[in-house]
Amino acid sequence: TARSRNDQVALDLRLTLREECKALEGAVCTLLEILCNKAETHAETIMPGYTHMQRAQPVTFGQHLMAYGMMLLRDRERLNQCAARMNVSPLGCCALAGTTYDTDRKMTAKALGMNGICQNSLDGVSDRDFCAELAGVLSILMMHLSRFSEEIILWCSWEFGFVSLSDAYSTGSSIMPQKKNPDIAELIRGKTGRVYGDLMGLLTTLKGLPLAYNKDLQEDKEAIFDAVDTAKACLGMMAPMVDTMQARPENMRRAAAGGFINATDCADYLVTKGMPFRSAYKVTGELVAHCIANGQTLESLRLEDYQAASPLFEENIFEAISLEACVQKRRSQGGTAPEQVRTQIAWVREKMKEW
């Protein structure tokens, strides 16, 4: 029958992982749709945007969620591309050198729903690139889930109070009755390192292998199956956790109102009046320093205070630096304005229809 254990094992592994990729794609799509729905609900919910974990500029919660949506979109594309690359048949490569029997490898590949055949029999039985590639794709996916989990953990804290998780995805403390711990998010964050370990285990196993088959390749199964199972479990928990997560818009807005998060818009206002940005930056910095020294905010300053810093300021400065204006003005493609957030959601949903 022109079959060896070597090519059969390689084939079965490809067929199994091809189906696992489909399941993973479906799980990613489920989470992505949940993110789109929640982002649509919060397209106008204002929250602080951060750089260096310092309040930077106001953004919408919807845009923040869609940032993770874009990551998941790429994750799904990588899974799809990975599945396409692994979907070639090594059957008929036999032990390593091919066969003397008159077989039709393309016929068996077609019967198995594969896109073609491995073109070199030595490579066909010894190739485990597809395992390492899938583990790499899953490592990136898990990194995205971990980043999101980390933010959820922060947002749940009393220091932030931006969201509240369902009791189903939280636990209490054995001695502290006030505690509500975001355990599922923490576990997803923790299991990310496990998938990274699976990837490194695979690469380390493969790095010193001469052609063709070696018994070391038995070690690929435990690593890649663990990576797949872990990623599926994490996606399966992340989706309902996010779906039932409740936002607290009033806390988000309260946080956005502090930290002079509208200072850039104050500088931009002067630029619209003809002042070079560097000069506008300096003037605004002086105003912020004055506010800090006197326990004020940019909103609480009098028009006279602004005009003492620059005669270009007019009454409409207060409208220009309102949180709503700061968000609404950022209508550039991909920006945080609600209309742009809705455009992003629509774009992602169109992509999903193509799948």
Q: Which residues are the active-site residues?
A: 52, 173
Residue 10 tokens read as 């390689």
CA–CA gap between residue 307 and residue 314 (Å, rounded): 8
> Residue 169's closest CA among 151, 156, 154?
156
Picking from 311, 318, 319, 327, the residue whose alpha carbon sits closest to that of residue 275 is 311
SS3 at position 250: helix
Instruction: Spell out a b/e string for 264-280, using b for 16 or more CB atoms within 10 Å of the CB, else e.
Output: bbbbbbbeeeebeeeeb
Residue with tokens 């929640």: 38
The Cα–Cα gap between 154 and 184 comes to 13
Query: What is the rounded distance in angstroms from the CA atom of residue 98 to the CA atom of residue 95?
Result: 7
Identify whether the C-beta of residue 6 lies closer than 8 Å to the C-beta of residue 213: yes
CA distance linking residue 156 with residue 20, whole number of Å: 33
Closest CA to 112 of 92, 89, 93, 94: 89
Chain Cα centroid distance, residue 309: 43
Q: Beta strand 46-51 with 116-117: parallel, antiparallel or unpaired? A: unpaired
Residue 285 CA to residue 21 CA, distance in Å, equals 52
First vs last C-alpha separation in the chain = 38
User: Tokens in use for 112?
Assistant: 């198995």
Taking CA atoms, 273 is separated from 129, 292, 312, 316, in Å, by 58, 25, 7, 12
The DSSP line for 86-107 is H-EE-TT-TTTT--SS---HHH
Q: Which of 222, 74, 48 is nearest to 135 (CA)?
A: 222
